[in-house]
Amino acid sequence: MKRLLVTGGAGFIGHHFIDHVLRVTDWEIVSLDRLDFSGNLNRLSDILKDNSERSRVKIVFHDLRAEVNEYTRSLVGEINYFVHMAAASHVDRSIVDPMSFVQDNVVGTCNALNFARKLDIEKFIYFSTDEVFGPAPRGVDYEEYDRYNSTNPYSATKAGGEELAVAFRNTYGLPVSITHTMNVFGERQHPEKYIPMCIKNARDGQSITIHSNKTKTVPGSRHYIHAADVAEAVMFILSLDDQLLKGNCPKYNIVGKQEINNLELAKMIADAQGKTLKYEMVDFHSSRPGHDLRYSLSGKKMKSLGWEPKIELTERIKQVVDWTLARPDWMMK
């Protein structure tokens, strides 16, 4: 039986990944988490529905800003796969307090990599972001090895962690692979994020802020992707025999099926509730410096290997809206 270590397993994407692994494998899972702003054990409790599932998940508390000591290592035990999802991920907070993001995303990643060196693992996945590439001009979809152009402290620290992961592969032979994904949404997401906020504001008849260009005519756009699709993609990458590849560290973009601007998305969310959308377009860069109007990744590589999301965005949005309205305990009141 395989054993999987997930850092940040109580986080939003982490708990969806654990849920997927429980459903498609018989693996044992260790979730390593410090339970701060992003981590919430209620997420894991919500998905661990019976004793057989609970017995396959072990939760170990550790703050990766500190080195993993021998006692924590003994609690984790032997591991086959190491998926490093723990990270600070809110752009606004990174602008206010960049050093905390350096500690979480650079120092924390270095400690995770050093820990992984002591384990006999088959693969280490570093979970990166589209934001390391910076804003994408219309018509440009960044591929896996394009240059970095970080525009805020969050993306810079994720790029720093990514380069450390590459260095550990090149220096120590650690079997590292890297993923970039775009805006992820789904059930149990923190209510500060855009889609949960849109669901709540549409429900309550409140105005939704749509970030746009300086003329307030072009909304920002993204390739939104459900966390369940991301989890499926990560499992697909774990199954790839990419350690025989020479040269560049294997990198994979995990991309949603369609690009959509934030005004279209807000309308989709309001329509799913039978509500009329109230919104205000705001000057994107003046109101939120460090944010970018458009991000975009190319999903060609993963598609050529045999993976792409199976479910349309409209269906995924309806699924999340219905779930969230039925579970107001996961929304801001």
Catalytic site positions: 130-131, 154
295, 253 contact by CB (below 8 A) = no
Phi, psi of 181 (to 5 degrees): -130, 165
14, 84 contact by CB (below 8 A) = no
- Using the structure block, give the residue that is written with the tokens 């889609």: 195
307, 217 contact by CB (below 8 A) = no
One-letter amino acid for residue 160 of the chain: G
d(CA 256, CA 331): 24
- Using the structure block, give the residue that is written with the tokens 């990744």: 297
Task: Please state at what angle helix 194-204 crosses helix 313-326, rounded to 10 degrees.
Answer: 60
d(CA 262, CA 268): 10
Q: What's the count of helices (H) and strands (E) in the chain, helices before strands? A: 14, 13
Q: How many CB atoms lie within 10 A of CB 151?
A: 17
One-letter amino acid for residue 318 of the chain: K
One-letter amino acid for residue 235 of the chain: M
Q: How many residues does the chain have?
A: 333
Ramachandran quadrant class, 152 (left: phi over 0; alpha: psi -120 to 50; beta: rest): beta
160, 119 contact by CB (below 8 A) = no
Phi, psi of 304 (to 5 degrees): -65, -25
Q: Find the radius of gyration of the CA atoms of the chain.
A: 19
